[in-house]
Structure 1
Amino acid sequence: MIRSRMLAAPLAIITLALSLAACGSESSAPEDSSGGGSSDAGWTPITVEHALGTTTIEEQPERVATVDYANQEVPLALGIVPVGMSKMTWGDDDGDGIQPWVEDKLEELDAETPVLFDETDGYDFEAVAATEPDLILAGYSGMTEEDYATLSEIAPVVAYPDAPWATPWRESIKINATALGKEEEGEQLVADLEQTIADAVAEHPDLEGANGMFMTHVDPTDLSEINFYSAADTRTKFFEDLGMAIAPSIVEASGDGGDFAGSISTERADELSDVDVVVTYGGQELIDALNGDPVLSQLPAVKNDAIVNLDGAKPIGTAANPTALSLPYLIEDYVALLADAVAGSAGK
């Protein structure tokens, strides 16, 4: 996922937004279910180290805001409704900015929809400030140091642990849960999701050992380069959770830089001959272009029609990048698609 980030908003704007929000907040603050929980006299300050610094949460969060993709799902899974969260445009099938598994969880918690932050052109700092958060979660994100500094003027911020857009689902859950003072609950959530994965994979033993590649951002009208999510990306790493392997050619082409995406010249396409299954967001247009290219059409995965196309306009589009609530919602369908691709590859 690649997003542009607008320049940090002036502190004066944020201060104004906070001041305006405070004017009417004393008598209209949300109930506990709308942010975190009532104060706990036994709260022990929590310090979280992440790639952009060290954040200490001195008091139990009561108004939690989340930014970027899917961070809202961790507090929700743990029974906490954020006061504000990112508006989702990926995998949202009805255009309301909320993915179906989040809608289900909000209904289960009998909660109103939080404020939705439109991050199309970067973080909406004023909107975040207006929700008066006392904690901002971004364990899976791509924020810059400037973004982090600006958001930190609003409330303590927990950013990604290592690199932008490279936090695997387990670590995303753990770092966000830890910041909420729910480290043990986060560990249990991870264990439950691991069992959900194991149950789904057990139905498709043919996935074991199949080499996967995630092809992305490819222009069907210019196939001179093949772009892919690297071995460091969460979508590629998820292959290993499913008993598959990241194709050795992708590991080699990814290098040691830790970037979440890479590319390879089509002139070197034969290096991808070890790829059994290609996953892509490219749609039928890309599949037709691959089949029509004299070089790429000879790749085993293309020749065998072992391509899984994920439609980003539908919930299944998010399946390759699992999150706290989406994983149980989508895992069976995603594994079935991969298994069909592997079967096609093996049968030809």
Structure 2
Amino acid sequence: MRRPLIALAAATAAALALAGCSAGTSTDEPTDAASGPAVEEGAYPATIPTLFGDVEITEQPTTIVALGWGDAETVLALGGQPVGASDWLGFGGEGVGPWAEGLYDQAPTIIETLEPDYEAIAALEPDLILDVKGSGEQDRYDRLSEIATTIGVPEGGESYLTTPAQQLEMISAALGVPQAGADLATEIDDAFTAAADAHPEWEGLTATAATRTSEGWGAYIDGTERVEFLERLGFVLNPAIAAMEPSDGGFSVNVSQEELDTFDADLIIAFPIFIESSEITDDPQWQAIPAVAEGHAVVIDGDISSAYSLGSPLSQLYAIDEVSGLIADALGS
């Protein structure tokens, strides 16, 4: 019943922008699986810098509500169990992609995304609320902080610009497993390095990360996970996109139908938001872009698009395998 609203919330942040509007040593008393992973020695007190000031955590939280984009999957990847979570991409069920299925011991209460139900959150009696990757709105943070200790976005992380590395570091510190977070980050780094090393010919090639919504076309800029993903494989952002003025959301640029040639690069990766993929692939002006005409464009949707966009630890590992293969096919390597 709620999936259309949840899916709308999942895409609204992007759509509005485009439309212009191994763990360390544990303590003597490791917690059980329902509370979280075994706390690492010396993990607390933990001080976590945020846009709203430093947050000090003195003991492992046992009742976590994870609201930010990918926050819940990050907790799960570290062995935690959120009791409440937001389903940004409209997966349904437990609100996670296939790469994280089966990690919950008990399904969480699903909380709306852009306009969360504060009463529903309070009813869960959390001792920690994570809103690490979100809009960074002061009012939202203040209301959440009235319910429980809240970790908001880091400095510069407003408008969903918290990086995957920042998200993992902040959440692992809050859960008392900073070394486990660092180890997981290394695993992700190694996966990107292996994919890039397998394709040295990608080094320095230009790339565009594009999308189309019902409102129009757009492309992502430096500092967003979709561009960072490509850069970690050796690509560089299309200079024509880099030179454009970001839209109000701060993480993308608007591109008019008449200016689709701006997308032209050695590689284009595109995905639809709330429309069918055919609205990209069947568009004559899309087909006329030189990179598209030469077969150097990849249009992704479904789980691959979600994994590429989400940027959580497990979704990144999934996307590295899937997207790298599609790029190799498109570039003939």
1:284 to 278, 287, 291: 278
Check if 1:305 corresponds to 2:295: yes
**Distance (Å, rounded) in 1 between the aligned partners of 2:50 and 2:202:** 34
Distance (whole Å) between structure 2 residues aligned to residue 42 and residue 303 of structure 1: 57
Distance 1:276 1:197, change over 3 A: closer
2:210–2:217 CA contact under 8 A, matched in 1: yes
Structure 2 CA distance for partners of 1:183 and 1:285, relative to 1, 3 Å: same
What is the deviation of 1:260? 0.8
**Separation in 1, partners of 2:41, 2:237:** 48
Give how far 1:197 is off.
2.1
- Please point out which of 134, 144, 149 is paired with 2:137: 144
Q: Taking structure 1 as reference, are residues 56 and 247 closer, same or farther at Cα in structure 2, changes over 3 Å only? A: same
Contact 1:32 1:62 in 2 (8 A): no
Cα pair distance change 1:218/1:301, threshold 3 Å: farther
Percentage identity across paired residues of the two chains: 28
- Residue matched to 2:198: 203
Q: How many residues align?
A: 302
Q: What SS does structure 1 have at the residue aligned with 2:126?
A: coil
**Structure 1 contact 45–58 (Cα < 8 Å) conserved:** yes
Classify 1:300/1:229 alpha carbon distance in 2 versus 1 (closer, same or farther; 3 Å): same
Contact (CA 8 Å) 1:45, 1:56: kept in 2 or not? yes
Please tell me whether the aligned partners of residues 43 and 60 of structure 1 are also in contact (alpha carbons under 8 angstroms). no
Distance 1:320 1:337, change over 3 A: farther
Q: Distance in 2 between matches of 1:188 and 1:254?
A: 37
> d(CA) in 1 for partners of 2:311 and 2:329?
20
Match of 1:59 in 2: 59
2:43–2:177: 8 Å Cα contact kept in structure 1?
A: no
Q: Which residue of 2 aligns with 1:246?
A: 237
Question: CA shift at 1:271, angstroms?
Answer: 4.5
Query: Structure 2 CA distance, aligned partners of 1:202 and 1:160?
Result: 33
Q: Which runs of 5+ in 2 are unaligned?
A: 1-9, 14-30
Partner of residue 100 from structure 1, selected from 98, 101, 108? 98
Stretch of structure 1 that moved more, 184-193 or 121-130:
121-130
- The change in CA–CA distance for 1:47 and 1:41 in structure 2 (over 3 A counts) is same
CA distance in 2, matches of 1:197, 1:177: 21
Measure how far apart 1:245 and its partner are. 1.3
Cα deviation 1:176-223 (Å, max 9, x = unaligned)? 11222322221111011111222233333333222111212344xx8x
What SS is found at the alignment partner of 2:133? coil
Q: Secondary structure at the match of 2:65?
A: strand
- Alpha-carbon distance in structure 2 between the residues aligned to 1:284 and 1:47: 48
Judged with a 3 Å threshold, the aligned counterparts in structure 2 of structure 1 residues 43 and 277 are, in CA distance, closer, same or farther, namely closer
Which gives a bigger RCO, structure 1 or 2 (Cα 8 Å, sep 6+)? 2
Q: Structure 1: 5+ residue runs without aligned partners?
A: 5-30
Identify the residue that residue 48 of structure 1 maps to in structure 2.
Answer: 48
Q: 1:254 to 1:189 in 2, by over 3 A?
A: farther
Residue 323 in 1 paired to residue 321 in 2? no
Given that 1:278 and 1:301 are in contact with CA atoms closer than 8 Å, whether structure 2 keeps it comes out as no
State the 1:287 CA deviation. 1.7
Distance in 1 (CA, whole Å) between partners of 2:316 and 2:228 is: 14
Contact 1:204 1:335 (8 Å CA) reproduced = no
Amino acid at match of 2:134: S
TM-score, structure 2 normalization? 0.79
Give CA deviations for 1:74-106 in whole Å, capped at 9, x if unaligned. Answer: 22222221222223544x3x7553322222333
CA deviation string 1:97-140 (max 9, x = no partner): 3322222333xxxx222x23231562121222122111112222
Shift of 1:67: 0.6
Between the aligned partners of 2:94 and 2:247, the Cα distance in structure 1 is: 39
Assess if the C-alpha contact under 8 Å between 2:210 and 2:270 holds in 1. yes
Code of the aligned partner of 2:34? S
Deviations 1:135-178 (A, max 9, x none): 11222222421111011011111112122211221111011112
| 8 Å CA contact 1:63, 1:132 repeated in 2 | yes
One-letter identity of the residue aligned with 2:270: V
Distance 2:39 2:210 in 1: 47
